[in-house]
Amino acid sequence: MSALGKLSKLRLIWQQEGPKGAARKVAGELKLRAYHPDRQLVLLRVDLSLPAHRVRPKDADPSFRVLPYGPSELPRLRALLERTEPARLPTLEARLAQGAQGFVAEDAGEAIGYVFFVLGSDDPTEVVHADLHWLPLRPTKGEVYTFDYWLAEAARGRGNLFARSVQQAQHEMGYSASYGYVEATNTSALWLYRTIGWKEVGRVLEHRILGKLSVIDDRVYLVRAFDRLLLGRWPLSVEAGRPSA
């Protein structure tokens, strides 16, 4: 959620529950930032071969389309993020540099969002995305790992059509399944994914400390912008900063 979104949510809590309610909310968020003991990540997979998981005749909307993401799409996506969520700007160029493919969502000629994906591999030693160093997901050849779904706040409500259109395009490109993950508290994303065919294939329980350290099972990671650095095994053996990606 953007800073603006958070502020308006806080204002609503202030109006409904008074200053004490708002203070409790802020204190709760700060506490979770310091130590979040049970952040659950839901691992998901969708079968792209099933028509029910793609754009159905009743979903079709001529004002909406998805376009392949590439350097020519950068300027208008950059302009959109500058207006709405500047914190996401570094993602755009990084994903291109990392070789990720993606799609831009366009409504009535305006860019309203984006998503990225990478191709799976049959080589068990090849980790196709930095997330997959710490998530137990292994898309194989002909499958994809999809990540960073984002729609500008003013376009929320278009997520269902956006994701269906992406799944349609990935199917037409010859991919049979897509994997991803979502935080268990991200209700709208979870709801959306479930309505378009994503099935839960596992869960990862993460402990977050000061927003920067992540503990999964016995592994401790430093959380960086686009990957994680494996610091060591909890509680004793430090692995001298062996990178996780």
Ligand X SMILES: CC(C)(COP(=O)(O)OP(=O)(O)OC[C@H]1O[C@@H](n2cnc3c(N)ncnc32)[C@H](O)[C@@H]1OP(=O)(O)O)[C@@H](O)C(=O)NCCC(=O)NCCS
In terms of CB distance, is 111 or 220 closer to ligand X?
111
Q: In the complex, what is the shortest distance from the CB of residue 232 to ligand X, in angstroms, rounded to a whole number? A: 28
Q: In the complex, what is the shortest distance from the CB of residue 30 to ligand X, in angstroms, rounded to a whole number? A: 21
Helices (H) and strands (E) in the chain, counts: 5, 10
In the list 46, 111, 128, 182, the residue contacting ligand X (rule: CB under 6 A) is 182
Tokens coding 120 = 């799976």
Query: Among residue numbers 134 through 173, which ones bind ligand X (CB under 6 A)?
Result: 149-151, 156-160
In the list 8, 72, 185, 188, the residue contacting ligand X (rule: CB under 6 A) is 188
DSSP for residue 97: H
Query: Among residue numbers 30 through 69, which ones bind ligand X (CB under 6 A)?
Result: none
Q: In the complex, what is the shortest distance from the CB of residue 153 to ligand X, in angstroms, rounded to a whole number? A: 8
In the list 186, 209, 229, 239, the residue contacting ligand X (rule: CB under 6 A) is 186
- CB-based closest residue to ligand X: 159
In terms of CB distance, is 48 or 166 closer to ligand X?
166
Please report where in the chains the tokens 């998981």 appear, as a residue.
Answer: 53
Task: Identify which range of 5-13, 22-30, 188-196, 228-236 contacts ligand X by CB under 6 A.
Answer: 188-196
In terms of CB distance, is 150 or 221 closer to ligand X?
150
Give residues with Cβ within 8 angstroms of 227, minimum separation 6: 130, 133, 243, 244, 245
Say how many CA atoms lie within 13 Å of 116 toward its Cβ: 18
- What are the C-alpha distances in Å from 183 to residues 30, 35, 81, 89, 228? 18, 16, 22, 21, 17
**Is the sign of the CA dihedral 69, 70, 72, 75 positive or negative?**
positive
Q: Does 118 bind ligand X (CB under 6 A)?
A: no
| 235 preceded by a cis bond (ω within 30 of 0) | yes
> What backbone phi and psi angles, to 5 degrees, belong to 156?
-60, 140
Q: Does 103 bind ligand X (CB under 6 A)?
A: no
In terms of CB distance, is 43 or 48 closer to ligand X?
43
Residues that bind ligand X (CB under 6 A): 149-151, 156-160, 182, 186-189, 191-192, 195
